[in-house]
């Protein structure tokens, strides 16, 4: 399947904006969409410069890699936008923990394992979810180090692809394995959530 775009962000709130800022800084083209349409994103795209493109959600979905930067309570509705998500990697930035009734819905599964069932065919990678958005996008002098982002997935090739992208965005990616293994460490409220790590360069 040939997609129109390489990278897209759905959601233009705290996390979507932080991600767009990172793409802009790394000089990588990205589309961004929200529920209100491209016109609502003009101020943001003007601020972030020519790498960040405001599009409709439908266009954003025609991308190889889609950052899902929406509230967890909207994931099920979001998943219904496509019958078949095959050929797409979806980066799941959501945290279910604060959503009403989430435990009854996930039934003991990792939240991203549940989310993957809502986007049939997608390769889901959990990540970019365990730091506050402002920390995620804050600049760090590379002489000090690279900020660590943790990734988990049940689809190893997709994890490798997002790890490469994370490195291009200036991070040090650390892959934690499957959702029900290391992935639980980045599920709120577990051990790595809201823990900010920086990998120092070797000297």
**Contact flag: residue 158 with ligand NAP (CB under 6 A):** no
For ligand NAP (CB under 6 A), the number of binding residues is 24
CA-to-CA distance for 56 and 35, rounded, in angstroms? Answer: 8
Q: Are 179 and 115 in contact (CB under 8 A)?
A: no
> Where in 76-135 is the site for ligand NAP (CB under 6 A)?
77-78, 93-95, 129, 132-133
Residue among 15 and 116 whose Cβ is closer to ligand NAP = 15
Among 44, 42, 53, 47, residue whose Cα is nearest residue 13: 44
Closest approach, Cβ 2 to ligand NAP, in A, equals 23
**Cβ proximity of 151 and 112 under 8 Å:** no
Comparing CB distances to ligand NAP, the nearer of 20 and 89 is: 20
Task: Tell me which of 4, 13, 191, 201 binds ligand NAP, using CB under 6 A.
Answer: 13
Regarding 14 and contact with ligand NAP (CB under 6 A), the answer is: yes
For residue 156 the two structure tokens come to: 């190893």
Helix intervals (H) in the chain: 14-26, 42-48, 57-60, 75-79, 102-106, 111-118, 133-136, 156-168
Could you give the CA distance from residue 40 to residue 104 in angstroms, rounded to a whole number? 35
31 is an interface residue for ligand NAP by CB under 6 A: no
Give the nearest distance from C-beta 143 to ligand NAP in angstroms.
Answer: 26
Interaction between residue 71 and ligand NAP (CB under 6 A):
yes
Residues at the interface with ligand NAP (CB under 6 A): 10-16, 34-36, 57, 69-72, 74, 77-78, 93-95, 129, 132-133
């Amino acid at each position: 399947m040939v997609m129109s775009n390489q990278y897209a962000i759905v959601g233009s709130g705290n996390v979507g904006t932080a991600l767009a800022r990172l793409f802009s800084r790394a000089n990588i083209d990205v589309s961004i969409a929200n529920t209100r349409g491209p016109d609502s994103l003009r101020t943001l795209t003007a601020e972030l410069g020519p790498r960040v493109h405001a599009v409709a959600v439908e266009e954003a979905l025609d991308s190889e890699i889609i950052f899902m930067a929406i509230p967890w309570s909207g994931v099920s509705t979001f998943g219904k936008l496509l019958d078949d998500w095959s050929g797409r990697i979806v980066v799941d930035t959501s945290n279910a923990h604060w959503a009403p009734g989430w435990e009854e819905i996930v039934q003991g599964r990792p939240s991203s394992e549940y989310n993957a069932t809502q986007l049939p065919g997608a390769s889901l990678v959990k990540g970019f979810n365990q730091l506050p958005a402002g920390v995620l996008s804050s600049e760090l002098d590379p002489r000090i180090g690279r900020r660590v982002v943790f990734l988990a997935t049940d689809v190893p090739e997709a994890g490798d692809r997002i790890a490469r992208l994370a490195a291009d965005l200036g991070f040090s990616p650390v892959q934690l394995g499957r959702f029900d293994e290391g992935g639980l460490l980045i599920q709120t409220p577990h051990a790595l959530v809201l823990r900010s790590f920086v990998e120092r360069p070797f000297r």
